[in-house]
């Protein structure tokens, strides 16, 4: 499972590396993203040479970084190699909560995901979180690649929302949780984003990362708060 992840790098850093078209997402963030006029086709009256407009756009891009939670706007790389904006979690139908994850093993069996198999996407991240069960407690773990390198989750999107695909975990982190997000490696990016490539030809990509590329840190448990008992006898009361 993946219910929280970090993106601690400017999303525009992926532009040159992956040859991304940034125009749509630049226009969307300039118009307030999901909270304002999010029509990517709306006329763009911003002036990139204007210091105020440039500052506002930079601040909007900054809003896509940090810790991302379900229903947050997230940056996604679409099949067209455009960078888009989606809400994290699929909604609609009889769903009682957003579907933030999709199991790799059953994607082509579920009516929610089958129509999206040609709408594959990539979701940039720098870390994700899992909670290890420890008796009645849950211990928060921060999982990264070496040197906190950025990477790309495998996802599906429907035009306004996206979900992260999960698989059985790498042996190294299986003690933390029984699922992990799928990370698409550099050699598989082109095929994953190509809608003309049948899903069956990409299924082999949806597996766990090798143990040696994973690093994790478990937060120390916090001391339980002591409840003050107003009925206790104070030795200093009069």
- Residue 16 φ/ψ, nearest 5 degrees: -70, -40
How far apart CA 213 and CA 207 sit, in angstroms, is: 14
Residue whose C-alpha is closest to residue 83's, from 167, 17, 180, 35: 17
pLDDT band for position 41 (cuts 50, 70, 90): very low
> How big is the chain, counted in residues?
238
**Are residues 165 and 155 in contact, defined by beta-carbon separation less than 8 angstroms?**
yes
Q: What is the pLDDT of residue 222?
A: 66
0.75 cut: is pTM over it? yes
> Exposed, middle or buried, 84 (CB in 10 Å: 0-12/13-18/19+)?
buried
Asked whether the predicted pLDDT for residue 140 surpasses 50, the reply is: yes
Least confident among 51-65, 152-166, 180-194, 215-229 = 51-65
Which distant-in-sequence residues (6+ apart) come within 8 Å of 149 by Cβ? 126
Q: What is the pLDDT of residue 45?
A: 45
- DSSP letter at 9? S
**Are residues 89 and 95 in contact, defined by beta-carbon separation less than 8 angstroms?**
no
pLDDT band for position 42 (cuts 50, 70, 90): very low
Residue of higher predicted confidence among 153 and 21: 153
pLDDT digits (tens, 9 = 90+) for 67-103: 999 999 999 999 989 999 999 999 988 888 999 999 9
Positive or negative CA dihedral for 103, 204, 153, 133?
positive
Least confident among 48-52, 62-66, 163-167, 222-226 = 48-52
Residue whose C-alpha is closest to residue 123's, from 91, 166, 161, 76: 76
Q: What is the pLDDT of residue 40?
A: 44
**Are residues 101 and 164 in contact, defined by beta-carbon separation less than 8 angstroms?**
yes
Least confident among 22-26, 49-53, 149-153, 200-204 = 49-53
The fraction of the chain above a pLDDT of 90, given in percent, is: 61
Q: What is the pLDDT of residue 33?
A: 56
Task: Give me the helix-helix angle, 51-62 and 23-30, nearest 10°.
Answer: 100
What is the mean predicted confidence (pLDDT) over 48-62?
A: 58
Asked whether the predicted pLDDT for residue 132 surpasses 80, the reply is: yes
pLDDT band for position 13 (cuts 50, 70, 90): confident
Compute the mean pLDDT over every residue in the chain, rounded to the nearest whole number.
Answer: 84
pLDDT digits (tens, 9 = 90+) for 202-231: 999 999 999 999 999 999 876 555 554 444
Which distant-in-sequence residues (6+ apart) come within 8 Å of 96 by Cβ? none
* C-alpha torsion angle, residues 70, 71, 74, 78 (rounded to 10): 100
**Are residues 183 and 206 in contact, defined by beta-carbon separation less than 8 angstroms?**
no
Which distant-in-sequence residues (6+ apart) come within 8 Å of 32 by Cβ? 38, 60
């Amino acid at each position: 499972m993946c219910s929280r992840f970090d993106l601690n790098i400017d999303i525009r850093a992926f532009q040159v590396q992956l040859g991304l078209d940034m125009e749509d997402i630049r226009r969307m963030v300039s118009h307030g993203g999901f909270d304002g006029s999010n029509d990517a086709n709306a006329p763009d009256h911003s002036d990139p040479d204007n210091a105020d407009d440039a500052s506002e756009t930079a601040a909007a891009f900054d809003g896509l970084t940090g810790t991302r939670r379900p229903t947050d706007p997230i940056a996604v790389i679409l099949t067209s190699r455009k960078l888009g904006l989606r809400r994290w979690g699929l909604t609609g139908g009889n769903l009682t909560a957003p579907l933030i994850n999709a199991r790799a093993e059953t994607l082509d069996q579920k009516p929610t995901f089958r129509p999206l198999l040609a709408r594959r996407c990539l979701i940039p991240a720098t870390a994700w979180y899992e909670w290890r069960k420890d008796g009645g407690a849950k211990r928060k773990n921060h999982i990264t690649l070496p040197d906190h390198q950025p990477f790309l989750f495998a996802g599906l999107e429907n035009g306004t929302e996206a979900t992260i695909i999960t698989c059985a975990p790498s042996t190294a982190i299986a003690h933390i949780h029984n699922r992990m997000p799928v990370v698409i490696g550099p050699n598989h990016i082109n095929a994953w984003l190509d809608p003309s490539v049948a899903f069956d030809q990409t299924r082999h990509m949806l597996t766990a990362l090798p143990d040696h590329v994973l690093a994790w840190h478990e937060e120390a448990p916090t001391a339980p708060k002591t409840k003050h008992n107003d009925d206790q006898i104070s030795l200093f009361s009069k």
